[in-house]
Amino acid sequence: MLRYIAKRFLIMLVTILIIVTLTFILMHAIPGSPFNQERGTSEAVQANLEAHYHLDEPMYIQYLLYLKSIVTFDFGPSIKQPTSTVNDLLGRGFPISLELGLVSVIVAIISGILLGIIAALRHNKIIDYAAMAIAVLGISIPNFILATQLIQSFAVTWQILPAATWSSPKHMILPVIALATGPMAIIARLTRSSMLEVLTQDYIKMARAKGLSPYKIVFKHALKNALMPVVTILGTLLAGILTGTFVLEKIFAIPGMGKYFVESINNRDYPVIMGTTVFYSAFLIVMLFLVDIAYGILDPRIKLHKKEAE
């Protein structure tokens, strides 16, 4: 296990380094300077600003300074918001984005598993067809389209829920529904197909022959094995949900990292773009690693083999 963890940790570091390098190259491949949009500034002022942010240094020097900032977790000041550092922006925006993402993940997992179980237990009946129709719609409709429809229906037409901001539990309902619907549909379809397969296994037939209640058969014996495919995609779904918050935060005017990230791209704020990219990449890679470990724990048939010299 220790060797496996060490190997995965090394892979994580290499992956993060690749992401860091590609982000740095892409940001500096764009022609011009972040200060080109500043009106009324002389060339001397622009030169001083570029020197202050080390943008006048050779590329390899900028890259080394960038790696140093990552190692020390000090991404420096924002170019467009000089009074705030990138760390300040992460501290303000990430907790809100994380709250939205985690609530959406919990809602997607619980509702998706329940919907899949109900569909499997009522196989080829109207409840099964209705559940799968909901799942297909959830997969087919992009979350930003669903978000606009939810705002139009519940906030504008019926005026039941607030349309924007993030100040009370009521403000969470529409963004969470928009963000959780797609992953919920995927989980529901996987749970249904896996549960149908598990329910035909011999040990389930034996449990039924012993007279166990349907509740015990499903939740004590079948569900654990039926959730294996769901666990394998949790890392990918988590990544999709947390990065999907960027678009929805802009739509619902939520003061999360999406607001700062989109503005930084429009303003070519290099420190914010690269700091946010590195932070989210590291966070998501760690989550994928934890999902791998959880999968190995849940399924004892999976072994972590050591390499043997031949």
Kindly list the domain boundaries of the chain, sorted by start residue.
Answer: 93-309
Pick the CATH number of 93-309 from 3.40.47.10, 1.10.3720.10, 1.10.10.10, 3.40.50.2300: 1.10.3720.10
- Write phi, then psi, for 85 (nearest 5 degrees): -90, 165
The predicted model gives 15-43 an average pLDDT of 73
pTM (2 d.p.)? 0.78
pLDDT tops 50 at residue 309:
no
pLDDT tops 50 at residue 86:
yes
Higher-confidence residue of 42 and 176: namely: 176
Closest CA to 183 of 155, 143, 154, 229: 143
Which of 40-44, 137-141, 207-211, 220-224 is the most confident on average?
A: 137-141
Per-residue confidence band for 181, with pLDDT thresholds at 50, 70 and 90 = very high
Task: Say what the pLDDT of residue 306 is.
Answer: 42
DSSP string for 176-244: HHHHHHHHHHHHHHHHHHHHHHHTTSHHHHHHHHTT--HHHIIIIIIHHHHTHHHHHHHHHHHHHHHHH
Higher-confidence residue of 97 and 307: namely: 97
